[in-house]
Chain A
Amino acid sequence: MSGLRLVTVGGMIAYRALFNWTRPALFIGTLFIGPLFQLLFFAYLGRQLRVGDDQFFLVGNAVLTASLACVFGGTMAVANERRFGTLGHVLLSPRSRTAIFWGRVLPYAGNGLLISVFTLTVASLMLGLSIPLSALPGLALAMAAGSLACGFFGLTLGALGLRFRDVFVISNVAVAVLLLLTGVNVPPGNLPQWMVVVGQGLPVTHAAEAARMLAAGRGLDAAAPAIGQELLVAAAYAVVAALLLKFFEAESRRRASLDTL
């Protein structure tokens, strides 16, 4: 019961404390407007090059638009402790680190879902893509899974940030890599095999695939395995992040390697 509170209430306060883009202008500009134009850019580029139809680009990119908030958010959820010098005070908590840090991911995942829904809605209206009503619940599920996976992926990077000072460089690269390797803009058939393999282990890949099936009216039964795989990716990153956090904390007590105060 109190563990649940730590995850939810604690996570929400931490979101406000550590996320750099909560001011309205930044929040809307960086997280909603920017990604919307990125989506439109790829949709028009796709039309021009006739690689895929509107639906291919629109739906896949809508899932991807969550990644900026989630990956950077997840990173900030740990790495920004360094900026405020609060890590030591957090580590003095007798409570579960896993609950503390997993809880921090949830608001970003919710934020990401909101962005995906927004960009998909606006872009569909602008480009005249119609999505069957019956597909909406499934789409929301796929997008939620994608956002969650991105958030835990970001948390993993954030955990690395305890050790490597300039972790936001990695986050920047990661966001660009997602653009290429998740198959959202380049169909997997056109990528070298190793990139496809890497893409399978990244967030968004499976969620975008599921979202496309749903938008094409193929039903939740068809999309469920892909959503399941996305959730598996989310769980894998959640575990890796928790292990890294545990490891770096133990190491910092031995080697005084974190600036804990």
Chain B
Amino acid sequence: MESDYAIEADGLRRSYRSRTGWLRPRLTTVDAVRGVDFTVRRGELFGLLGPNGAGKTTTIKMLNTLLIPTGGTARICGFDVEKQTREVRRRIGYVFGGDRGLYDRLSALDNLRYFAELYGVPARDQRRRIAELLDLVRLAGREQDRVEGYSRGMRQRLHIARGLLHAPEVLFLDEPSIGVDPVAARELRQTVANLAATGTTVLLTTHYMAEADELCDRIAVIADGRIQALGTPSELRSRADGRRVVEVEAYGVPDTALAALRDLPGVRETAVETRGTLQVLTVQSDAHVDVQSDVLRELAGIRLGRVDSREPTLEDAYVTIVNAS
């Protein structure tokens, strides 16, 4: 029954029904995932990217047995996620970004001891395995402290240790680097890369494009519950081939100016990222058109910071794909 693929998703769908309103209840249905197909080979590091609410977490929850698909099927190492839950659960680990999900009153050590028990780590291996993992996530020395006193990043690292307790064949990492400092994030990427190198299949979601670019063998971009693009990072990047990017730091850009940028001749995409009061405008254009002077003219009178012209990155390709969906 063992399959060549670690993960196979076949027309996966999931909708949520919820009741809103109390006096006059209405049943609303959200189609979170609307037909997703992909396969992940054993040992592959597969990225799932997409905007908030795209259906990434929902997809993962169907693959890890917490939710039953409303349509389609999926298999983990050949086992059906709906019916063969025990076989699937033996083989998977799940790390979910966030502050919750740990027993606050227990120490890190006791949290790990409990989940080692639940995840079927043999008693004689537990002590060694837990010590290894505490070392790996750099919590050794703090393992006796109650988790309620942990910082966000420490919790996140404990989540990761827990997900690895039973050395799962397939690891689902849902925004694992959220709240983790840059040094720890780099270590985390190294850890993930090592796991994949030693044969663990990893399905990763992240909002950090550089992380996905560095780590993933292949990436699926999902938006509106459907896969919009699937390929290696360089294949996805090539979607922005023949383009050039102008990046402008600015303060207080009015919406009218943004709309004007989008309408400039040669401009293909625009995006804005806000960092505090600073806005970073990204303007993609055809490579043979130099739009920089046009862009600056549209922004005349607005306080600007650094202005840069560069080759497109995976992030630019991602923006293109998501905007097209």
Binding site for B on A (CB under 8 A): 2, 5-6, 9-10, 13-14, 16-18, 22, 84-86, 88-95, 100, 252-256, 260-261
Is B89 a contact partner of A89 (Cβ separation < 8 A)?
no
- Of B16, B61, B89, B101, the contact of A93 (CB 8 Å cutoff): B89
The contact string, 1 if C-beta is below 8 Å from chain A, for chain B 77-111, is 00000000111011010101010111111100011
Binding site for A on B (CB under 8 A): 16-17, 61, 64-68, 85-87, 89-90, 92, 94, 96, 98, 100-106, 110-111, 113-115, 117-120, 122-123, 162
Is A253 a contact partner of B89 (Cβ separation < 8 A)?
no
Is B101 a contact partner of A17 (Cβ separation < 8 A)?
no
Chain B contact residues, majority secondary structure: mixed
Give chain B residues whose Cβ lies under 8 Å from the Cβ of A93. Answer: 89, 118-120
Is B65 a contact partner of A13 (Cβ separation < 8 A)?
no
B31 CB to nearest chain A CB (Å): 13
Is B118 a contact partner of A17 (Cβ separation < 8 A)?
no
> Once the chains are docked, how many angstroms separate the CA of A6 from the CA of B120?
9
B171 CB to nearest chain A CB (Å): 12
Is B103 a contact partner of A261 (Cβ separation < 8 A)?
no
Q: 10 closest pairs, A vs B, by CB? A: A85-B100, A17-B103, A94-B89, A93-B118, A13-B114, A10-B117, A253-B68, A94-B90, A85-B101, A94-B86
- Of B67, B96, B122, the contact of A256 (CB 8 Å cutoff): B67
- Of A5, A16, A22, A86, the contact of B117 (CB 8 Å cutoff): A5
> Once the chains are docked, how many angstroms separate the CA of A16 from the CA of B147?
13
Give chain A residues whose Cβ lies under 8 Å from the Cβ of B113. Answer: 9, 13
Chain A to chain B contacts (Cβ below 8 Å), 13 pairs? A13-B113, A16-B106, A18-B103, A22-B105, A84-B100, A89-B118, A92-B92, A92-B119, A94-B87, A95-B120, A253-B65, A253-B68, A261-B61
Give chain B residues whose Cβ lies under 8 Å from the Cβ of A90. Answer: 118
Give chain B residues whose Cβ lies under 8 Å from the Cβ of A253. Answer: 65-68
Is A84 a contact partner of B66 (Cβ separation < 8 A)?
no
Given known A89-B101, A89-B115, A92-B65, contact A5–B123 (CB-CB < 8 A): yes
Is A92 a contact partner of B102 (Cβ separation < 8 A)?
no
Is A13 a contact partner of B102 (Cβ separation < 8 A)?
no
Is B105 a contact partner of A2 (Cβ separation < 8 A)?
no
Give chain B residues whose Cβ lies under 8 Å from the Cβ of A95. Answer: 118-120
Is A260 a contact partner of B100 (Cβ separation < 8 A)?
no
Give chain A residues whose Cβ lies under 8 Å from the Cβ of B98. Answer: 85, 261
B107 to A, closest residue via Cβ: A16
Give chain A residues whose Cβ lies under 8 Å from the Cβ of B85. Answer: 94
Give chain A residues whose Cβ lies under 8 Å from the Cβ of B118. Answer: 6, 10, 89-90, 93, 95, 100
B151 CB to nearest chain A CB (Å): 17
A254 CB to nearest chain B CB (Å): 5
Give chain A residues whose Cβ lies under 8 Å from the Cβ of B89. Answer: 92-94
Given known A92-B94, A94-B119, contact A261–B114 (CB-CB < 8 A): no
Is B100 a contact partner of A92 (Cβ separation < 8 A)?
no
Is B101 a contact partner of A13 (Cβ separation < 8 A)?
no
> Once the chains are docked, how many angstroms separate the CA of A92 from the CA of B117?
12
A237 CB to nearest chain B CB (Å): 23
Give chain A residues whose Cβ lies under 8 Å from the Cβ of B119. Answer: 92-95
- Of B64, B87, B111, B122, the contact of A92 (CB 8 Å cutoff): B64
> Once the chains are docked, how many angstroms separate the CA of A17 from the CA of B118?
14
Of the candidates A90, A92, A93, A253, the one having the most CB atoms from chain B within 10 angstroms of its own CB is A92
Given known A17-B105, A94-B86, A94-B90, contact A88–B66 (CB-CB < 8 A): yes
Is B68 a contact partner of A254 (Cβ separation < 8 A)?
yes
Give chain B residues whose Cβ lies under 8 Å from the Cβ of A94. Answer: 85-87, 89-90, 119-120
A84 CB to nearest chain B CB (Å): 6
> Once the chains are docked, how many angstroms separate the CA of A100 from the CA of B119?
11
Is B106 a contact partner of A13 (Cβ separation < 8 A)?
yes
B106 to A, closest residue via Cβ: A17
B99 CB to nearest chain A CB (Å): 8
Given A93-B118, A253-B65, 19 other A-B residues pairs in contact with their CB atoms under 8 A: A2-B120, A5-B117, A9-B117, A13-B106, A13-B110, A13-B113, A13-B114, A84-B103, A86-B101, A86-B102, A88-B66, A91-B66, A92-B89, A94-B89, A94-B90, A94-B120, A254-B68, A261-B61, A261-B101
Give chain A residues whose Cβ lies under 8 Å from the Cβ of B92. Answer: 92
